Chain A
């Protein structure tokens, strides 16, 4: 056998199986080929932008002595942007506002979604398809449109509710003043979000074997007990999923306050973290600062999501057993 003999030659000559190296080569190559499209997309649209954001957040626009006013140019500033934004009370106040809003919006959205899902899933429910569509419909309306619509319903001189209360001599309802802004804004999110969450929970409910409920009924369970003791624990994973979505959604609230801002003095340019990031990037023309804010928000979201998953993991799997 000459050193130049190829695998094919050896195979045709009936020589023993080729050394393992080409096989190993094929083994490592195939997954790469199969992964390539996803990997390319991931690198192009996730890894590179994230890397760019990280790099950008360490830059700063500083003045160079040129021209009549000076010229702004990018220079490396290390963690200066992070220091600035982490010491900015407004940024943290934004998270506090998010918390107040989230404490109203998230439990109510999930609670109502679960309630509606259970009601529709109930054997004797009527008009199932209609109810499902009617509850889901608001989800199809973009947040911008929903916020504008609700905004009109909140403003004293255009609000039908205030119109009624005024006719009864009770004055207008201050939907957009003081702390009322939190429930008013949460209401928009709840109105839009219940349907989506309901569908997820409902789908999960449909997956519960009918025998389980039948067995419970034979054992003398009331419908209420079936719902509470059997269905809810079994859809717990769906609840965790919707809870996670709701949490991430809360951290990324932007559309509703932005749309309501011109209608009330209650909402500042920095009312929630994303609004501040937008302002830094596009109103103050300070993209590096916006990048730093985004990185902090993303890391925060990741940490909170992991804590939620960790905390619920034990309970949900415990419920399954």
Chain B
């Protein structure tokens, strides 16, 4: 919700960015000053640590708003020629940023961190050998569940989606005020992850020829599955993280949240009182299908074309995501690092507060991170897709017209826009 409030401040921020942009650059004493936009919590400390370790590169950090806002402002600032040198960008927005000519290819500088990330992680920022960002955090999908309530109702943790449907029915039977889960009709990233797990490929590109498969067979199957649960009143179709939803979570009326490794921190912010009650389990998979899960969310540090110091900017981006000091701070703030060394360090620590009583938390987490689907490409108009998806799915839930139809509508909107803009879309 705060995203929308912040939207109103876009103009103001634009002005601020303009003022900031006027005073960048290299001072006479050889110290390079970089501007940096990012919204994560541990940022200020990490930037301070970097500045201390690099007397000749000084970084000024600004929180320009969450993922959506920040990318909007980045586009605007870039057109005005005063984008920051380095900016956080969500993985799903990176292709759109490349298409809008905002990001610089930094592959000539990234040799030293080649082995710091897994190939699946690199696929989020590296296309055809061109590198458009250094991965910061990743969100392998897992299922959060309220263990205390599961025990109370005598429920087994579902391992497959088939079992998930059965448990959902049990929940309704044993406690009619509770639901096993919520289906958030605007949760684009979440649904994309569920579809990818089932084998969907929403975009792919070769020689600037795009294939769009938002309504491919696996996606429609997943949509039908959730529609079935909605039809039988086994899950609640409602937006997530609203006052209403938060209240239900606090009442113990929502038992699971199939999401990603960043979710424990978010949920802790909503239901602090339930610290220790929750646990994570592997995301259910399809019977007979692969156990792999998708990545949901996550960001990279990107270098902009506006930057006059791409070398220093790249050095900063690499340090922030591979240096031990940096990832130690990142883990302490509740993020799951993208770097392999960071993930190993995280696994040595205690579980997040919400899961304080789960002994095998990191075991489950590490396993999820190790089994991620590879080869995911996001499209050049993910924002349109996300927006069309949210409206279509919401209408489908409200009017009872079915999620598969909404998925087909989203496909049409996305392809229509790509063709209008001039992309070469092949069937």
Contacts and interface: CB of A to CB of B under 8 A. Distances in A.
A265 B185 contact: yes
Contacts of B390: 269
A268 B68 contact: no
Contacts of A72: 99-101, 421
Interface stretch (B135-143, B327-335, B343-351, B377-385): B377-385
Contacts of B381: 284
B118 interface: no
B180 interface: no
B101 A71 contact: yes
A279 B99 CA distance: 19
B75 interface: yes
B395 interface: yes
Given A68-B128, A72-B421, A157 B383 contact: no
Q: Give the dominant DSSP class at A's interface.
A: mixed
Contact of B243 (A84, A155, A266, A270): A155
A156 B243 CA distance: 10
Contacts of B383: 283-285
B291 to A, nearest CB: 32
A156 B253 CA distance: 14
A109 interface: no
A278 interface: yes
Contact of A61 (B237, B247, B248, B421): B421
Contacts of A278: 7
Interface string B361-393: 000000000000000000011011001001100
A283 B68 contact: yes
> In the complex, which of the residues A84, A259, A269 has the most CB atoms of chain B within 10 Å of its own CB atom?
A269
A267 to B, nearest CB: 9
A68 B5 CA distance: 35
Contacts of B423: 63, 70
Interface in A27-74: 60-63, 65, 67-73
B30 interface: no
A278 B390 CA distance: 16
Given A72-B101, A156-B244, A284-B387, A63 B205 contact: no
Nearest to A282: B72
Nearest to A279: B387
A261 interface: yes
B208 A268 contact: no
B391 A270 contact: yes
A265 B99 contact: no
Interface in A254-302: 258-259, 261-266, 268-270, 278-279, 282-285
A180 interface: no
Given A70-B380, A282-B72, A284-B383, A259 B4 contact: yes
A152 B1 CA distance: 13
A68 B208 contact: yes
Given A71-B100, A258-B4, 17 more contacts: A63-B421, A68-B128, A69-B208, A69-B380, A71-B99, A72-B421, A73-B101, A144-B5, A155-B242, A155-B243, A157-B251, A259-B4, A263-B239, A265-B237, A265-B395, A268-B394, A270-B391
Nearest 5 interchain pairs by C-beta = A63-B422, A268-B391, A62-B422, A157-B247, A265-B394
Interface of B: 1, 4-5, 7-8, 10, 68, 72, 75, 95-96, 98-101, 127-128, 130, 185, 205, 208, 237-239, 242-244, 247-248, 251, 380-381, 383-384, 387, 390-391, 394-395, 397-398, 417, 420-423
25 contacts: A60-B421, A61-B421, A62-B421, A67-B98, A67-B99, A68-B208, A69-B127, A69-B205, A70-B423, A71-B100, A144-B5, A156-B244, A158-B244, A259-B5, A265-B237, A265-B238, A265-B239, A265-B397, A268-B391, A282-B7, A282-B10, A283-B384, A284-B387, A285-B72, A285-B100
